[in-house]
Amino acid sequence: MSVEHVDSADDQPFYISAEKIYPQRVHGYFRRIKWALLVMTLGVYYLLPFVRWDRGPNAPDQAVLIDLPGRRAYFFFIEIWPQEVYYLTGLLVIAAMTLFLMNAIAGRIWCGYLCPQTVWTDLFLAVERFFEGDRHDRIELDKGPWTANKILRKTGKHLAWLVVAWWTGGAWVLYFGNAPTLVGQLAHGTASFAVYAWIGILTFTTYALAGHMREQVCLYMCPWPRIQAALTDEQALNVTYRQDRGEPRMSLKHSTKARAAGLPAGDCIDCHQCFAVCPTGVDIREGSQLGCIQCGLCIDACDTVMHKVGRPDGLIGYDNDINSARRVQGLVPVYHLVRPRTILYAAVIAIVGSVILYSLATRSFTGLDVIHDRNPILVQLSQGGVRNGYTIRILNKRPLERKFSLSVDGLPSGALLDAQGASTPAGGLPIVSVEPDKSLEARVTVTVPPPLHLPETTDITFRVVDIATGEKAVTRDFFKAPKPE
């Protein structure tokens, strides 16, 4: 039920209920692109968790996996540790720049073709059409009384929506565990509470956002239309109605008569097909609007009409403000897709992408972190020496068990490193084993025997070396000694 507060000054309501939109079925070039992208994106989303990727016996074989308990993310041949979260930062920068680049070239094509809200709404609309028919049938059905036929159609639609929404939530959780195992657990009702809770949340949000809220999400909830409006320029291509060709608009009958009489008549026959197919209820002939997601469906609708009435297509098309003005002046349109902002966005994408690729290609499979004890920061031994304590973490990023020798540089000869749980061959360095694809935390002490000729703080370097391959990792820290007298 809507609530309306009436402004006594000018009788304008503060709030008006959203009018339900009944987008009409449309065929054409942009509709086919949208279907292809819908199948591709949803296919990837639903099926990707089932793709396997062999990483050896000690690592999961799911190609894309976010292993929260194991604190790892796997993407085909890439394995990201928590310490490497900067890769995610790089990917976010690339994603943002790609969005900016798309916007600079063709406005909100992300919204019109790839945004999950658009893709799922398209799918839910297809389901709605299957059960309730096209625009006219749906309007009549909603207006009509609650007959058995209406109850059956509405029930079928909502059940089908819930199944799609449930599977959408179900697919999401498969990215966080072994997909076949989770499917088995779901089938037997033995999955964890968290799995059911997430599926429930995502089922509800998908059903509400794609089934009921649809264009309201784009109009009122999403920040991107406002951001992109600030980012765009007059060169960006947007779905545009060609005023110079379309006006003065009039019915086909009147335009035929007007042309026969030598009077001006635009190509627009005021058939409202462009408006009828619009998923956000925009009449593009009124100019560019916040509600337009640049999906191009009105282009398909209008081209179909133009073919039927024997006029050239393209009355609505992707164009920019500059060319709209040029056309009105009778000038030839010009396009500048390569301009400073598109070059800048492409350059940032290329640079960040190259840095990520280089970093991945040269990344080390061994890591070392060291934390110096704070309390006590040093221990003076009764024989005159000094001992410092540390906690070290050795990272083994390979899917096999490895042995590492531990050493420390920067201290006088005679300094001794001891590691908890290490074996120390006679005269050799302490050696620790680290399980495949795991990290090992160990307590380490470094002792400098007398006589002490050390400043209060000495810079030191810890080193771990894989005794089989020689692969190493180093990290700097410090050694504390008493203040020299």
d(CA 152, CA 115): 31
CA distance 6 to 121: 33
Which residues 6+ apart lie within 8 Å of 156 measured at CB? 131
245 vs 438, beta carbon nearer ligand SF4: 245
- What are the residues facing 480 on neighbouring strands? 457
| Shortest reach from residue 240's CB to ligand SF4, in Å | 9
Q: From 180, 168, 198, 192, select the one nearest 62 (Cα to Cα).
A: 180
Using the minimum distance from each CB to ligand SF4, give the nearer residue, 67 or 283: 283
Residue closer to ligand SF4 (CB basis): 269 or 446:
269
Cβ atoms < 10 Å from Cβ of 383: 8
Widest CA span in the chain: 116
Whichever of 29 and 50 has its CB closer to ligand SF4, that residue is 29
CB of 297 to ligand SF4, least distance (A): 4
Nearer to ligand SF4, 277 or 368 (CB): 277
216 membership: H or E segment, kind and range:
helix 215-216
Task: Report the DSSP pairing between strands 78-80 and 72-75.
Answer: antiparallel
* DSSP SS3 for 403: strand
Full DSSP string of 217-280: IIIII-SHHHHHHHH--TTS-EEEE-HHHHPSP--HHHHHHHHHTT----S-----HHHHT-TT
Minimum distance from residue 434 beta carbon to ligand SF4 (Å): 56
- Taking the complex as a whole, the smallest distance from the CB of residue 74 to ligand SF4 amounts, in Å, to 38
Q: How far is the CB of 227 from ligand SF4 (least distance, A)?
A: 18
Radius of gyration of the chain (CA): 33
Minimal distance, residue 275 CB to ligand SF4, in Å: 7
Minimum distance between the CB of residue 153 and ligand SF4, rounded to whole angstroms?
A: 26
Residues near ligand SF4 (CB under 6 A) are 239, 241, 246, 268-274, 277-278, 280, 282, 284-285, 292-298, 301-302, 305, 315-316
Q: Rank residues 213 and 434 by Cβ distance to ligand SF4 and give the closer one.
A: 213
Residue closer to ligand SF4, measured from CB, 171 or 297: 297
